[in-house]
Structure 1
Amino acid sequence: MLSIRIVNVLLLLRLRGNRSQGLFIPQGKCYLGIHPNAQLHVEKGVFFLSKFMRKPEPYVGVLKMGDAATLKVEDDFIIYPGHHIVVMENATLRLGSGYINRNARIHCFQEIVIGKGVAISEHVTLWDTDAHAIVGKESTMTQPIRIGDHVWIGANVTILKGVTIGEGAVIAAGSVVTRSIPPYCLAGGVPAKVIQENIQWK
């Protein structure tokens, strides 16, 4: 059953961007706070926001986009309920294909890139900024996050600024990722470290 709030439909009508080859469908309890100058580009496929798995769920999803913020979606992508996604002024969030499970927290102050064929589990946090600067290190307060293709991120993982996760990598549940992870590695821990190399997952 398709459920879209009327207020979301009205916001979609004025949301800038290109959706000629794809669809954006906010479902369930999903609230959009989008600046008139923000842009959403869905290149192809369907971008579901707050999509419930079997029936309507109690979790409320939030998407906020600031002035000149951009959200780009390359192909089919699902974000399940309970998300809190903020794309700040002039920032860009890029989604390839795959899904992000319930209660994700994504705060994009500069750039966050998520690749194709990703599987991101529940209660995952992505922050590309410290939000507050340490004196003398102001220039490193905000740095992009990049997650490669076919990456699996376990439940309750936190990924911090400046991290690149290589293609095919797996991040174990509960990890805090503060440094980049090479491709095709299993990483875990606080802070996350490589546990095994040359892995494959399906």
Structure 2
Amino acid sequence: MVTGHEGDTVRRRGPLRADAQRNEDRLLEAAAAAFAREGKGASVKDIARAAGVGVGTLYRRFPSKELLIEAIYREEVQRLCEAAPHLTAAQPPAEALRTWMERFIDFMAAKQGMADALAVVLTDDSEKLHTRALLAGAITHLLTAMEGQAVARPGVDAQDVLMALGGISLIAASEEQRALATRLIDLLLHGIVTN
């Protein structure tokens, strides 16, 4: 059982059936897109329609909008962190880091759309610290792969990279320029990659 905003609960009784898991995955994907686009005012009815399920299905899984937003946030953090080893296995180390950074910026852009709601849902500082530690762990994995092939400067700190990426996402969001974020990622990479 997971407790959410104002005592709302989502009951988990073991793994979901395959069809129920597909419904939940589609709901989270549709909701993430809607909140990124429209902010916390996104319509639950429109989210359910975009996911191809009824509103009742949405409310059975997520009894409140806050619990839906929290689930999206946790799912996106998990996906971002799990991407690091897959990227290092599939791409050269520096390219894997670049791809991960681009995904981080996209994650932060989606988070901006949910910022007001997340401020209500994620009130616990330990949750924020936990998320930061997970993200820094993913960056550490990427940097270690780069160091293993001597393509990263020694001593690059994962927390520093994470803070720089956070700054890039804020600048790009305030300027409403995704292309600016890519250019700033290039500058950050020049500071990490050996020449």
Question: Structure 1 or 2: larger strand share?
Answer: 1
TM over 0.5: no
Q: TM-score, normalised by structure 2?
A: 0.27
Question: Structure 1 or 2: larger helix share?
Answer: 2
Q: TM-score, normalised by structure 1?
A: 0.27
Q: Which has the higher contact order (CA 8 A, sep 6+)?
A: 2
